[in-house]
Chains A and B, each alone.
Chain A
Amino acid sequence: MSAPVLVLSGVTREHRQGDTVVHALRGVDLAVHPGELVAVMGPSGSGKSTLLHVAGGLDTPTAGRVLVEDRDLAELSAAQVAAVRRRSIGYVFQDLNLLPSLTALENVSLPLELDGTRGGLARRAARDALDEVGVGHLAGRFPDDMSGGQQQRVAIARALVGPRRLLLADEPTGALDSTTGEEVLRVLRARCEAGAAGVLVTHEARHAAWADRVVFLRDGVVVDQSGPAAGAESLLTAGGGA
C-alpha cells in the first residue's frame, strides 16, 4: 500500500475552560491512504470535528504529530501550513461558504488564483473539477440560482480543484435530502477511488457506510473501527433476513 496522505500519531487536543482541562482528543492514531475514504462517527462532543480541524491544520494538537503528505505540520511555519492547506487539502463543510457574487466557475477557480495560478489555467482546472462532479453545465450560474444539491457539488468541486489529495468533509450531506445526499457521497467516493484520501465526519450511519473504514470516537478516544467484511454475499446468506 502506498504511503498515507494523512497520519495522526498520538494526537491529543486539550482546551482550557477556567480551571478545568477538557480533552477533545486523547492519543488518537489514524492513517488515511490514497484511495481510501474513512468515516468518523461518534456522539456530539466526541471530538469528531476537532479531529477534522487538527487534520486540516485549522487547529493545533496539544501533543502528538500530524503529517500531511509526509510533512509534519508542527515543523512548518504558519505561512507554510497555510500553503499546505491551500495546495494539499480540500474542505467540504456543512455550510457551503460559496461566494454569492461569483459564478460556480469563479467560486471554484478562486482558490487556485489566490495561490498564484494564472487565470486561464485556473479556469480550465475549475471547469474540469465541475465536470467531475457533474455540474459542468452550471459553470456560469450564481449560487442563488442553484439547488442545494447543485451548490454542494460546486463546493465539492472547489474542494477538489487542482492537485489536492486530502479531502476533509464535515457533515457534507447535512442540509440535503437523502437522494441528493447520496449523490454527494457517490462523488466523494469516486474521487477517493481515483486516488485521493478522504475523511468524512458524520453522525448518520447510512452515510458513514459509504466509507472503506468507520472509526468510532467516544470522549476523544478511538474506541473501535469497522472495515470491510469477508464478502458481501456472506452477509445475505447468513440470516440477513432474520
Chain B
Amino acid sequence: MSIRHGLLALLERGPRHGYQLRAEFDAATGATWPLNVGQVYSTLDRLERDGLVAQDGDPDPDGRIAYRLTDTGHAEVRGWFASPVSPKGAPRDELAIKLALAVTTPGVDVLSVVQTQRTGTMTALQELTRLKTRAAGDDLAWSLVLDSLVFRAEAEIRWLDHCEARVARAAAARPQNAVVPVSTTGPAVRR
C-alpha cells in the first residue's frame, strides 16, 4: 500500500496536519492498515522535499504543522486515481513463492501445504464475514474495504484448489515419482 498516495489523496480534502491525516486514513480504511504518526510525518517530509506538499501557514499553538497540496501534488493525486495499481508494485507473494519451493523440494507434502493454507485462509474469511455482518450498513468505505479482503481471500482459496488439482494431475502423470500421497487414479465417487 502506498502511504504516499494515501496521504496525498486525503490532502485533496484540504490542509491537514499529521495527526488528522492518520485519523482520517484509519477512518477511511477501517484501521485495516494502521499507520503510526512517525510514518505519517516521515512521508510528509519526503512529499515536501519532492515538492508535492507545502507547509500551510505557521504551526498551531500545539506546534503542529498543517500541509497542503501543491499543484504538482494535485496532479499526482489525479494521476494516481487515473491509473491502475500495477501488480509489479505488489509486495512479493510469499505464498506463491512457498508453493513454488514446495513442489521442487524433495520430501515436502505439497497437498498438505495447500490444505494448511486453505484452512488458514478459510479461517480468515470466516472472521471477515463475521466483521461484515457486524459492520453498520451505512459505513460504505469500511464495508468496501472488507469486501476487498473477502474477495481476495476467496481468490486465494480458488487458486489453492487450482494448485491442488494441478499437483494431483502431475503426480498421476508420473506415478513412479509421485511425491503426493493421494489417489487420483481411483474410480470417481458416485454422487
B interface size (C-beta, 8 A): 40
Nearest chain A CB to B158 CB, angstrom units: 7
Contact mask B156-191 → A, CB, 8 Å, 1/0? 011001000100000000000000001100111111
CA of A241 to CA of B182 in the docked complex: distance in angstroms? 34
Q: Which residues of A contact B188 (CB under 8 A)?
A: 22, 45
Question: Which residue of chain B lies nearest to A21 when distances are taken between CB atoms in the complex?
Answer: B187
Q: Which residues of B contact A214 (CB under 8 A)?
A: 119, 122, 126
Contact of B187 among A17, A206, A242 (CB under 8 A): A17
Contact of A235 among B127, B133, B158, B186 (CB under 8 A): B127
A209 touches B1 (CB 8 A): no
Question: Which residue of chain B lies nearest to A15 when distances are taken between CB atoms in the complex?
Answer: B190
A2 contacts chain B at the CB level, 8 A cutoff:
no
Nearest chain A CB to B112 CB, angstrom units: 9
A205 contacts chain B at the CB level, 8 A cutoff:
yes
Q: Which residues of B contact A225 (CB under 8 A)?
A: 119
CA of A29 to CA of B186 in the docked complex: distance in angstroms? 23
A43 contacts chain B at the CB level, 8 A cutoff:
yes
A229 touches B123 (CB 8 A): yes
Given contacts A209-B122, A235-B124, A236-B32, contact A219 B115 (CB under 8 A): no
A22 touches B158 (CB 8 A): no
Given contacts A214-B126, A216-B119, A224-B115, contact A232 B189 (CB under 8 A): no
**B-contacting 9-mer, from A46-54, A75-83, A95-103, A151-159:** A46-54
A228 touches B127 (CB 8 A): yes
B65 contacts chain A at the CB level, 8 A cutoff:
no
Q: Which residues of A contact B165 (CB under 8 A)?
A: 43
B190 touches A209 (CB 8 A): no
Nearest chain B CB to A223 CB, angstrom units: 6
Query: Which positions in B face A, CB cutoff 8 Å?
Result: 1, 30-34, 91, 115-116, 118-131, 133, 149-150, 153-154, 157-158, 161, 165, 182-183, 186-191
Q: List 26 A-B contacts (CB under 8 A).
A: A15-B189, A15-B190, A17-B190, A23-B189, A45-B191, A189-B133, A205-B121, A205-B153, A205-B158, A206-B150, A206-B154, A209-B128, A214-B122, A214-B126, A216-B118, A218-B182, A224-B116, A224-B119, A226-B126, A229-B123, A229-B126, A232-B128, A235-B124, A235-B127, A240-B33, A241-B149
